Amino acid sequence: TVANELIATFIKNITETISVPSLMNMDFADLKAIMTGSGVCAIGFGEGQGDTKVEDAVEKALDTPLLDIGDIRKAEGALIHIEGGDDMTLEDVNKAGEIVIERISPNARVSWGARVNSAMQGSMRATVVLAGVDSPFLVEGLKPFASIRREPEGEAEEVEVVEQPPEKEEKRGFFGRLFG
């Protein structure tokens, strides 16, 4: 069925993202750092070809119609993996990252990777994991479980919340934001 194929593709893409050697590797720790404590997470993937391969791949990944995740502007984290042929440039990878970070929270944690696959000449595949997204379907479905606590009474660890001023974000591009 279509649902089974979609799930299999999601699993394959995530597994390859963290296990297959890449130009810029990602591992399980990257995935865990983005997802831990972020609430609802969603994954999307897309492919593009030709002159608009970057835009097409990323937009399809962000707009996967079967997910219907709603507003991604509140996403607290993103894991972005780009795979393309020998013709893929750093500019392509930068452009893909820019498209994602322009659509999510400016304070989101972003981790990314890229891999060259000679068989993908002239095309590009984007896999995006978004953490902390709003999903009216999942939020409504989880309400009956809202009263369940993870730790027994009296054993909850106290956490001190410290307010920090928001970091001043400069327009430095995708790589500047990651390494600046």
Q: How many residues does the chain have?
A: 180
Q: CB of 115 within 8 A of CB of 20?
A: yes
CA-closest candidate to residue 129, choices 4, 5, 14, 12: 14
Structural domain total, the chain: 1
The CATH number of the domain where 29 resides is what? Answer: 3.30.1330.20
Q: What pLDDT, on the 0 to 100 scale, is given for residue 139?
A: 57
Q: Using one digit for the tens of pLDDT, what is the confidence trace for 34-68? A: 777 777 778 888 999 999 999 999 999 988 765 56
CA distance 9 to 151: 35
Which residues constitute the domain of residue 137?
Answer: 2-179
- At 180, the pLDDT band (50, 70, 90 cuts) reads low
Is the model's pLDDT at 179 over the cut of 60? no
Residue 159 per-residue DSSP state: -
CA distance 35 to 59: 21
Q: What angle do CA 21, 80, 168 make, to 5 degrees?
A: 125
**Is-above-0.95 flag for pTM?**
no
CA distance 66 to 3: 9
Q: Average pLDDT, stretch 110-120?
A: 89
- For residue 36, the Cα-to-chain-centroid distance in whole angstroms is 13
